Structure 1
Amino acid sequence: MRPLRYSINVTLDGCVHHEAGVAPDEELMGFWTAEMQRADAVLYGRTTYEMMESAWRRPASGVWPDWMSEWEIPFAEAIDRVPKHVVSRTLDAVDWNAELIRGDVGEAVQQLKRQPGQGLSVGGVTLPRALAELGLIDEFTFVVHPVVAGSGPRLLDGLSQRLSLELIERRELASGAVAHTYRPRC
């Protein structure tokens, strides 16, 4: 069974808004590229799918935009090509190498986990909380940035029960961010 991994940037006060952390640099983008390359497929809710598509979808011209640094292109290429599964009740269709998931999300994710491969990645805020509630996330990576946001959506806010985790890896980045990887305690 392939593992489901949840990875996200988070501030010291638990904010997970995508603009609340430290601006990505070459080292951090390398970290996220490696994370994306470990995934056979990604799972997103509608909001995260639309946000990622607007930023990282390869333009029809095939040429990455001028605003993108050379060190961002490997991430853009990795996310552009990976298969995507989008959980949404409001979208009628998806593209960008994606398929729509409707109905029982827990059962759909369990079916995806049963397929062969090295792993699945889930991103965003709402969908990961729902999957954590169902006990479907096998690994959590929180890249904690040395920033206090003061407001915004919080990491796994609203979980109905405490989630006990075991630290399995820790990596310090030059920016001051620290990547912590955990597994649920059995």
Structure 2
Amino acid sequence: MRPLRYAINVTLDGCVHHEAGVAPDEELMGFWTAEMQRADAALYGRTTYEMMQSAWRRPESGVWPDWMDEWEIPFAEAIDRIPKHVVSSTLGAVDWNADLVRGDLGAAVRALKAQPGEGLSVGGVTLPLALTELGLIDEYTFVVHPVLAGHGPRLLDGLSERVRLELVERREFASGAVAQRYRAAAMRDVDGGES
């Protein structure tokens, strides 16, 4: 079964909005490129899919836009080519190497995880909350930026129960950002066994 990995930029006060002042520099973009390359496919909700598509889809001309720095192109190429699964009840169709996921979210994501491969990447705010509630995310990577945003959506805001995580990797960047990778901790029953 391939793991489902959630990775996101977050401010010190827990904001995860893409306009919270956490744009990656060259070093961090290399990190995000490597993260994207670890996945066989990406899983997005409608909002994240549309945002990523508007920023990272290769133009019909085949030439990346002038605003894109040279060091952003490897990420753009990685996300452009990866298959995408879009969870939406409002979109009628998707393209950009994507298909729609409809119906029971838990069953659909379990089926995607059961396919062979190295892993699935999930991004966004709302969809990862739902997947965490269902216990379907295997790994969490939070890149914590030295910024206080003071507003915007917050990381996994509204989670109904505490989720225990185990730190498996930590990396510091020159910008002061810190990447922390966690895996979901096994639940322990009263006898000390794992469930």
Q: Please, what TM-score do these two structures have when normalized by structure 2?
A: 0.94
Which residue of the partner structure matches residue 163 of structure 1? Answer: 163
Give the distance between the partners of 2:22 and 2:51, measured in 1 at CA: 18
Which residue of the partner structure matches residue 108 of structure 1? Answer: 108
Give the distance between the partners of 1:27 and 1:55, measured in 2 at CA: 19
* 1:52-83 deviation per Cα after TM superposition (whole angstroms, max 9, x unaligned): 00000000000000000000000000000000
RMSD: 0.6
Which residue of the partner structure matches residue 28 of structure 1? Answer: 28
Which residue of the partner structure matches residue 50 of structure 1? Answer: 50
* 1:8-59 deviation per Cα after TM superposition (whole angstroms, max 9, x unaligned): 0000000000121333211010000000000000000000000000000000
Looking at CA atoms only, which structure, 1 or 2, has the larger radius of gyration? 2
Q: Please, what TM-score do these two structures have when normalized by structure 1?
A: 0.99
Contact 1:7 1:142 in 2 (8 A): yes
Contact 1:10 1:21 in 2 (8 A): no
* Pairs aligned (count): 186
Among all aligned residue pairs of Structure 1 and Structure 2, give the percentage whose two residues are the same amino acid: 83
- 1:84 paired with 2:84, answer yes
Which residue of the partner structure matches residue 189 of structure 2? Answer: none
Give the distance between the partners of 1:60 and 1:22, measured in 2 at CA: 29
Which residue of the partner structure matches residue 125 of structure 1? Answer: 125
Runs of 4+ in 1 over 4 A off after TM superposition: none
Contact 1:9 1:21 in 2 (8 A): no
SS at match of 1:10: strand
Which residue of the partner structure matches residue 179 of structure 2? Answer: 179
Give the distance between the partners of 1:11 and 1:72, measured in 2 at CA: 21
Give the distance between the partners of 2:53 and 2:169, measured in 1 at CA: 30
SS at match of 2:121: strand
Stretch moving more, 16-25 or 44-53? 16-25
Contact 2:10 2:22 in 1 (8 A): no
Give the distance between the partners of 2:61 and 2:156, measured in 1 at CA: 38
SS at match of 1:147: coil
Which residue of the partner structure matches residue 191 of structure 2? Answer: none
- 1:40 paired with 2:40, answer yes
- 1:147 paired with 2:147, answer yes
* 1:129-174 deviation per Cα after TM superposition (whole angstroms, max 9, x unaligned): 0000000000000000000000110000011101111100000011
Unmatched 5+ residue regions in structure 2? 187-195
Q: In structure 2, give the amino acid aligned to 1:177.
A: A
Give the distance between the partners of 2:57 and 2:122, measured in 1 at CA: 18
Unmatched 5+ residue regions in structure 1? none
Give the distance between the partners of 1:138 and 1:12, measured in 2 at CA: 23
Give the distance between the partners of 1:74 and 1:9, measured in 2 at CA: 19
